[in-house]
Amino acid sequence: MRVMVAWWDLAESGQTIESMRAYLRDEGAPSWGGVSGLYEKFWISDRVSNRWGAVMIWEHGPEPDQQLPPHKALTLIGYPPVQRSWFDVEATAQGRHELSTLAGIGLALGVEEPG
């Protein structure tokens, strides 16, 4: 497994965490459902430091010629992430929970906990 973490500092952008949430709700998050080899994608924010980003967990990492949904965040924010790093997964563990899926949960979607 491979994990990619990307962070943007929104200080120099006209975008805000709220405007990026609207993008996710309207088009960003749904476009990533069903991407081959992508186990999970989390969009993350840090209001205190005005940062926006994503964590992507890949089964093997995207194939070099794989067609991915448009990275519209790059266009909206106006510059590339200040950090983009790839990591190998050394181990995993899953705790006990009642979730059947993580899809459709998050502040941008107005669902903090599954119903």
pLDDT of 26 strictly over 70:
yes
Tell which wins on pLDDT, 108 or 68.
68
CA 23 distance to own-chain centroid:
12
Q: How many helices (H) and strands (E) does the chain have?
A: 2, 4
5 has which bridge partners? 55, 85
Q: Which domains does the chain have, with CATH numbers?
A: 2-90 (3.30.70.100)
Please give the share of the chain, as a percent, with pLDDT higher than 90: 43
What tokens appear for 42 in the block? 């989390």
* Global confidence as pTM: 0.78
- Residues 42-94 pLDDT 10s: 899 999 999 999 999 998 877 778 888 877 888 999 999 999 999 999 998 87
- Nearest-angstrom CA–CA distance, 60 and 57: 9
At 5, which amino acid appears? V
